[in-house]
Amino acid sequence: MPEIKKSEKELSTVYSPAQVENKWYPIWEKSGAYKPAENGNDSFTLMIPPPNVTGILHMGHVLNISIQDVLVRRARMLGKSTLWLPGMDHASIATEAKVTKMLKEDGINKREIGREEFLNHAWKWKEKYGGIIFQQLKKLGASCDWDREKFTMDADYSKAVMKVFVQLYNDGLIYRGERIINWDPQGQTALSEEEVIHKDTKGHLWHFRYPLSDGSAHLVVATTRPETMLGDTGVAVNPKDDRYTDLVGKTVLLPIVNREIPIFADDYVDMDFGTGCVKVTPAHDTNDFEMGERNNLDIINIFHPDASLNENVPKDYVGLDRFEARKKVVEAIETLGFLEKIEDYEHSVGHSERTDAVVEPYLSKQWFVKMQPLAEPALEVVKDGKVKIYPERWVKTYNHWLENIKDWCISRQLWWGHRIPVWYKGDKIYCGLVEPEEDGWVQDPDVLDTWFSSWLWPFATLGWPEKTEDLKKFYPTQDLVTGPDIIFFWVARMIMAGLYFCKEIPFSNVYFTGIIRDKQGRKMSKSLGNSPDPLDLFEKYGADAVRVSILMIAPQGLDILFSEERLEQGRNFMNKLWNSARFIRMNLDEGPLEKLSNLDDEKLDSTDRWILSRLNNVIEEVDKAYSEYKMNEAIKKVYDFTRADFCDWYIEFAKTRFYGDDVEDRKTAQIVSVHIMRIILKLLHPYCPFITEELWESFKKPEEKLLISETWPLSDSKWINNDVEQDVQILMDVISAVRNIRASLNVSPAKEADLSIRGNENMCDSLCKNENYLQRLAKLNDIQFGENIAKPPQSATAVVKGLEIFVPLAGLIDINKEVERLEKQIQDMEGRLNAVTRKLDNQNFVERAPEDVITHERNKMQNYQDDLTKLQENLNSLQN
């Protein structure tokens, strides 16, 4: 136990986190605590969801990382060989956009300087600005093993990516195909389905007349994107549509372009929508492309990669941006007299996840991963519970995606990333880890989707495909903590990759956090400016307080409405913790303190037994909460225990002993206080590592070192004692009742009063033993106990669990007020009694409810009845 020197006894009255929080991080790091223990029993591995190299810390990270740090720190304390591996991904599109923009500002054009030169700039940028977020994570206290930090473009990691591509290619799971893909005209690259965000958008439905080539009539088509008509190569109708059977096989003369295009029949067309005629643009719509293939239509691409019009449209339109072209087409159609009508129309429009540009369906040659064979095993492992998902409802989403999976477009027309390991020579294709030796081979210019590297994260970070020690020891990992927004992008794909390349699940538990929103429920975003800078918050409240607050308000997997005031709860709690520790320390005698386990059991009084019983219950509850990934519940339990049980009651009880003359008893109170404090610090350490480590200094034994490396407390059932808990509960209830009387009768808390307690012998005995606590906490003078105590004249009364308590307040008591008080209590009691009586009067209840429930209700009724009688007697005596 700690050895106290008088000079060291004082801690400041208000906790100021700044100093403490800067102090401990390097000490922990130097101590080697972040490294997995060589001889830990089990291993516990957690891979950080790699933030973007361009990323800076936001509130979402704070939640995410805090949860991970809690799990990691606890695992470490449980004695596991714990690895939390940090790293980041290269974020192809975002980084390339950023670097391109930076170069542009310096008057440098990316195309002009060429690939190699551009990459030089990009790497320089990465070295300079990349990974700022890691410095920020350290401020938050994240206890990652920084020596193992990974970047998806590290040499060894890149090797893994290449190896995976080649293997999948050789296994026939990667192919090149010409398809309609999602094109981001701003980033000028293809995207996967998942990178397209559909937004409901108010637009129009334009109805155009297309005249038949023979001039006999016209038909009407509708479109939300008029500019695409320049690429129309057909008009489709449903084969069963009687209205148009005559027209099938004829042609229309496409306005503006004056191209003759066929009218054909295809089942895809919905007869009931619009006019039942569909203009078909095979190069710019997925469905149109499919119809085009079925019906042998021409395919005319009308866009440049930047979505301006190319040479395949009439001269006046070449070079126009698609939205300008839209206007111009509508005008022209109107001028030609072919505009039937314009309707307001709300439909969903795809936007690029990264650049927010409206995505263009675009025909091009890209590389794809065949997903079906990978999806099936991934479905299995979740179905049979090998991989558990918390909260469970996400399983449905996961399954739905995998059951309807589409092939994954993985090529990106960018430079920053892993270049596709494929070379072409004429018609020949070569895919391999090394460049072909003969001359004339040209490498594919494209790079791979960033997710094509991060889906390997759980094992490529450990050195795969080499059979490293780390890989053996730490794969498969245990937990994954991330947001549900990347369930498809990342989580599902990691499961596929883990199973395919390592033949093992990558992790056993997936914990999805909620999304942090602002007070009004809006997502936090830079453009709204509603996202506070976490570093400011750390400075203002302390990182510990931010962690604690956010974890307390974060229900499992539900969104969190964040506002700064909510951090006060955490800050106040940290201050409370600080002061309770300070107080205990202040009251320790000089010299070493005995261990609780060495203490003679006899010396413990009922409040000691009570707090020890509560403590061990709490440890158990906390462990249970962890096992269900209810981190908010775990902290809540410790919070309540610390504040209510320990500070409000135990310490208050202990004061009588700290200041009393009984040296032995004082020692006992000190020993128990310190014991409880030490365990509180341990239980809290994962949530608020800095302050607990700082306070640990004061409470650790000489042979102990850092709290971060301490052991997790075990609940010991020998301390759990329901009788003691009940006894002390009555004591507390009596104290509360007296306080209530004083408060409602406006009796100054400073004024001492007497107390008489009438009740059965057992209860009186137990209270009598705790007389000193009653006296002190309820501010009482003389106390009388007994079965036959008479009610003193002019006393206020209350009934507590069958006990009658009388506070004689001659001269102080306002009869009217006391009558009011009692009447209220009587009313309350009558309400209870009524409810119970109704239940017991119900024949069906008595016949059908389980025995113990009925007994329970009968006891309740009896107690209520007794209490009510007493209250009424007291009221009567007052009124006479």
Q: Where in 344-373 is the site for RNA (CB under 7 A)?
A: 347-348
Cis, peptide link before residue 226, omega less than 30° from 0 = no
What is the smallest separation between the CB atom of 485 and RNA, expressed in angstroms? 6
What is the smallest separation between the CB atom of 719 and RNA, expressed in angstroms? 21
> What is the pattern of x (binds RNA, CB under 7 A) and - over residues 768-787?
-----------x--------
Q: Where in 370-429 is the site for RNA (CB under 7 A)?
A: 393, 396-397, 400-401, 404
- Asked if 571 touches RNA (CB under 7 A), the answer is yes
E strand segments, 70-185: 81-85, 87-88, 150-151, 174-184
What is the smallest separation between the CB atom of 771 and RNA, expressed in angstroms? 17
CA distance 311 to 306: 14
CA angle 480, 484, 485 (to 5 degrees): 125
Q: Which residues pair with 785 in a beta bridge?
A: 757
Interacting residues of 682 by C-beta distance below 8 A, sequence separation 6+: 77, 692, 707, 710, 711, 712, 713
The smaller minimum CB distance to RNA, of residues 45 and 352, is found at: 352
Q: Where are the alpha helices (DSSP H) in 485-605?
A: 493-497, 534-541, 543-552, 567-586
Q: Where in 839-858 is the site for RNA (CB under 7 A)?
A: 839, 842, 844-845, 847-850, 853, 856
CA distance 171 to 162: 14
Q: Using the structure block, give the residue that is written with the tokens 């057992």.
A: 762
Which of 155, 434, 663, 750 is close enough to bind RNA by CB under 7 A?
Answer: 750
- Asked if 582 touches RNA (CB under 7 A), the answer is yes
Which of 20, 70, 181, 222 is close enough to bind RNA by CB under 7 A?
Answer: 222
Residue 300 token pair: 């005319």
What is the smallest separation between the CB atom of 496 and RNA, expressed in angstroms? 17
Which H, E and C letters describe 484-496, residue by residue?
HHHHHHHHHHHHH
The smaller minimum CB distance to RNA, of residues 15 and 118, is found at: 15
The smaller minimum CB distance to RNA, of residues 379 and 462, is found at: 379
Q: Which stretch binds RNA (CB under 7 A): 92-100, 143-151, 370-378, 554-562?
A: 554-562
Beta-strand relationship, 411-412 and 422-425: unpaired
Which of 711, 769, 831, 877 is close enough to bind RNA by CB under 7 A?
Answer: 831
Contact 581, 698 (CB under 8 A): yes
- Asked if 574 touches RNA (CB under 7 A), the answer is yes
Q: Where in 6-35 is the site for RNA (CB under 7 A)?
A: 13-16
Q: Which residues pair with 664 in a beta bridge?
A: none
Q: Which stretch binds RNA (CB under 7 A): 61-69, 662-670, 700-708, 741-749?
A: 741-749
Output the CA torsion sign for 528, 530, 534, 538: positive
Q: Kindly list the distances between the CA atom of residue 186 and the CA atoms of 183, 353, 365, 412, in Å, as whole numbers in the listed order.
A: 9, 12, 19, 13
- Asked if 575 touches RNA (CB under 7 A), the answer is yes
What is the smallest separation between the CB atom of 53 and RNA, expressed in angstroms? 24
Per DSSP, 229 falls in state: G
Q: Which stretch binds RNA (CB under 7 A): 44-52, 91-99, 107-115, 215-223?
A: 215-223
Q: Could you give the 3-state DSSP secondary structure of residue 437?
A: coil
> What is the greatest pairwise CA distance in the chain?
116
> How distant is the alpha carbon of residue 495 from its chain centre?
20
Which of 109, 120, 748, 876 is close enough to bind RNA by CB under 7 A?
Answer: 748
- Asked if 568 touches RNA (CB under 7 A), the answer is yes
- Asked if 565 touches RNA (CB under 7 A), the answer is yes
The smaller minimum CB distance to RNA, of residues 790 and 846, is found at: 846
Q: Using the structure block, give the residue that is written with the tokens 């600080």.
A: 578
Contact 55, 534 (CB under 8 A): no
- Asked if 543 touches RNA (CB under 7 A), the answer is no
What is the smallest separation between the CB atom of 441 and RNA, expressed in angstroms? 37
What is the smallest separation between the CB atom of 735 and RNA, expressed in angstroms? 7
- Asked if 859 touches RNA (CB under 7 A), the answer is no
What is the smallest separation between the CB atom of 853 and RNA, expressed in angstroms? 5
Q: Kindly list the distances between the CA atom of residue 419 and the CA atoms of 53, 362, 443, 465, in Å, as whole numbers in the listed order.
A: 18, 22, 9, 19
Contact 544, 688 (CB under 8 A): yes
The smaller minimum CB distance to RNA, of residues 174 and 552, is found at: 552
Q: Which residues pair with 446 in a beta bridge?
A: none
The smaller minimum CB distance to RNA, of residues 112 and 272, is found at: 272
Strands of the sheet containing 218-223, edge to edge, are: 218-223, 196-211, 339-352
What is the smallest separation between the CB atom of 224 and RNA, expressed in angstroms? 5
Q: Where in 73-102 is the site for RNA (CB under 7 A)?
A: none
- Asked if 835 touches RNA (CB under 7 A), the answer is yes
> What is the pattern of x (binds RNA, CB under 7 A) and - over residues 250-289?
------------------xxxxxxxxxxxx-----xxx--
Residue 561 token pair: 């409405």
Q: Where in 611-650 is the site for RNA (CB under 7 A)?
A: 633, 636, 643, 647-648
Per DSSP, 4 falls in state: B
Q: Where in 521-540 is the site for RNA (CB under 7 A)?
A: 521, 523
- Count of Cβ atoms closer than 10 Å to residue 226 Cβ: 22
Residue 805 token pair: 């308590």
CA distance 662 to 669: 11
Q: Where in 471-490 is the site for RNA (CB under 7 A)?
A: 485, 488
CA angle 471, 460, 96 (to 5 degrees): 160
- Asked if 586 touches RNA (CB under 7 A), the answer is yes
The smaller minimum CB distance to RNA, of residues 82 and 182, is found at: 182
What is the smallest separation between the CB atom of 486 and RNA, expressed in angstroms? 10
Cis, peptide link before residue 476, omega less than 30° from 0 = yes
Q: Which stretch binds RNA (CB under 7 A): 35-43, 47-55, 132-140, 559-567?
A: 559-567
- Asked if 548 touches RNA (CB under 7 A), the answer is no
The smaller minimum CB distance to RNA, of residues 215 and 850, is found at: 850
Determine the angle formed by the axes of helices 606-627 and 663-684, rounding to 10 degrees.
10
What DSSP letter does each residue of 165-191 carry, written as one string? HHHHHHTT-EEEEEEEEEEETTTTEEE
Number of residues interacting with RNA: please give it, by CB under 7 A: 100
- Asked if 561 touches RNA (CB under 7 A), the answer is yes
- Asked if 218 touches RNA (CB under 7 A), the answer is no
Contact 299, 334 (CB under 8 A): no
Per DSSP, 764 falls in state: H
Which of 569, 709, 784, 872 is close enough to bind RNA by CB under 7 A?
Answer: 569
The smaller minimum CB distance to RNA, of residues 287 and 509, is found at: 287
Q: Kindly list the distances between the CA atom of residue 747 and the CA atoms of 479, 629, 744, 757, 813, in Å, as whole numbers in the listed order.
A: 57, 48, 8, 19, 8
CA distance 131 to 153: 13
Q: Which stretch binds RNA (CB under 7 A): 106-114, 147-155, 220-228, 251-259?
A: 220-228
Q: Where in 224-243 is the site for RNA (CB under 7 A)?
A: 224-225
What is the smallest separation between the CB atom of 168 and RNA, expressed in angstroms? 22
- Asked if 820 touches RNA (CB under 7 A), the answer is no
The smaller minimum CB distance to RNA, of residues 99 and 269, is found at: 269
Which of 209, 328, 419, 576 is close enough to bind RNA by CB under 7 A?
Answer: 576
Q: Which stretch binds RNA (CB under 7 A): 133-141, 425-433, 491-499, 563-571?
A: 563-571
What DSSP letter does each residue of 797-820 carry, written as one string? EEEETTEEEEEE-TTT--HHHHHH
The smaller minimum CB distance to RNA, of residues 43 and 617, is found at: 617
What is the helix (H) or strand (E) element at residue 132, kind and residue range? Answer: helix 132-140
The smaller minimum CB distance to RNA, of residues 259 and 636, is found at: 636
What is the smallest separation between the CB atom of 745 and RNA, expressed in angstroms? 10
Q: Where in 116-145 is the site for RNA (CB under 7 A)?
A: none
- Asked if 558 touches RNA (CB under 7 A), the answer is yes
